[in-house]
Amino acid sequence: MRSGLSIFDFSDLKDQVKNSKLASLAEIMPDTFLAQINHGDFPAWKQVLDSLPELSPVSYDLIRELRIGEAEQLETSEKEKLKNLLLGLQPWRKGPINLFGLNIDTEWRSDWKWDRLKNEISSLTDRKVLDVGCGNGYHCWRMAGAGARIVIGVDSHLLFSMQYWAIRHFLTEPPVYVLPVALEAIPEKLEAFDTVFSMGVLYHRRSPIDHLYLLKDCLRKGGELVLETLVIDGEKGMSLLPPERYARMPNVWFLPSCATLESWLIKAGYKNVRLVDVGFTTTEEQRSTQWMNFESLPQGLDVNDPSMTIEGLPAPKRAIFIAEK
């Protein structure tokens, strides 16, 4: 890694949060994290990061896209070498990400989701933001581009943290951090963030109401929750509990109707709840690529009726809710 920056070094983050309401987050940023890793793929992932070129971007863009550097900064052979290195960190799920003209064409067009919500949420200018289930931090960088004072993402999948550090290797200045922990690791009753995002997480929780309470505990009074999740058509009180997999995805629990989800938010103590977007996920937005060459949404839909999953359930539809603590 670049001189002065090593993976899982959160010393600058600790300096930023000390003497603030975020200070207790230092408890989940252990200096000895590297010594605790026993993932079998970690040595190979670390080798990728150790082999990245020492290169600083002459420009970057976090507002219109996630672009770091200019294509002219790398020769064709150097770009191919960078590509081969970063393919060692696949599957890349959230993006797209442009590094010095190299397009990381991720499974998700996460920029489309960002475009759907960016004009609906409160301004992020000077806000402290938490992104739960952030993956490699794609949306965290976009939040920083929208003016956030500090953005902290949490995701327990170690590979996604390695992808984040690969990006941060080239872009060290914006206050964006991804911690390799779950939401449950955040100190109780933190009540310090101005905005909390939970996107693509709720349906993976066995207890969605508990998840909503945990998110609320991270928010200051008057803070804003941005919640995106799978939903179904139906009346208030309706919710789908897939008997096994859903569109080939394991660990999918509750898919509520929009009216049901609104009632859950109100029950959990949120106010000013509003639905700002709802629509089906298309195979243009989520699909396999060279950077994520495993099964994706097209393989999870009925080939004869794409309005249904291969399990005979309604095809994925996603909603975005905004609520206030």
Q: What are 224-249's pLDDT values in tens digits?
A: 999 999 999 999 999 999 999 999 99
Mean pLDDT within 307-325: 98
Over residues 209-215, the mean pLDDT reads 98
Name, in order, each residue with C-beta under 8 angstroms of 84's C-beta and a sequence gap of 6 or more. none
Query: pTM for the complete prediction?
Result: 0.96
* Identity of the residue numbered 148: A
> Residue 33's pLDDT is what?
66
30: preceding bond cis by omega (within 30 degrees): no
How much of the chain exceeds pLDDT 70, in percent? Answer: 96
| Residues in contact with 24: Cβ distance below 8 Å, sequence separation at least 6, in sequence order | 187, 190
Angstrom distance (rounded) from CA 7 to CA 33: 10
**Residue 27 pLDDT level (bands cut at 50, 70, 90):** confident
Tokens 């996630």 -> residue: 66
Long-range contact pairs involving 22-25 (C-beta distance under 8 Å, separation at least 24): 22/128, 22/150, 22/152, 22/190, 22/192, 24/187, 24/190, 25/152, 25/179, 25/186, 25/187, 25/190
Domains and CATH numbers, the chain: 11-324 (3.40.50.150)
Higher per-residue confidence, 60 vs 37: 60
- Beta-bridged to residue 320, according to DSSP, are 228, 277
Q: How far apart are the first and last CA of the chain?
A: 40
- pLDDT digit string, tens, across residues 177-190: 999 999 999 999 99
Residue 313 has pLDDT above 70, yes or no: yes
CA distance 190 to 168: 26
State mean pLDDT over 12-33. Answer: 86
pLDDT of residue 6: 76
- The tens digit of pLDDT for each residue in 56-98 reads 999 999 999 999 999 999 999 999 999 999 999 999 999 999 9
Could you give phi then psi for residue 195, rounded to 5 degrees? Answer: -135, 135
What does the mean pLDDT of the chain come to? Answer: 95
Helix (H) or strand (E) run with residue 132 in it = strand 128-132
pLDDT-above-90 percentage for the chain: 91
CA-nearest of 258, 245, 235, 268 to 317 is 258
Average pLDDT for residues 104-123, to the nearest whole number? 98
Burial string for 133-152 (b: 16+ CB within 10 Å, else e) reads bbbbbbbbbbbbbbebebbb
Q: 17 to each of 146, 191, 230, how far by Cα in Å?
A: 20, 14, 34
Name the nearest CA neighbour of 169 among 74, 86, 292, 75.
86
Task: Supply the pLDDT for residue 126.
Answer: 98
Amino acid at 216: K
- Give mean pLDDT, residues 125-133: 98
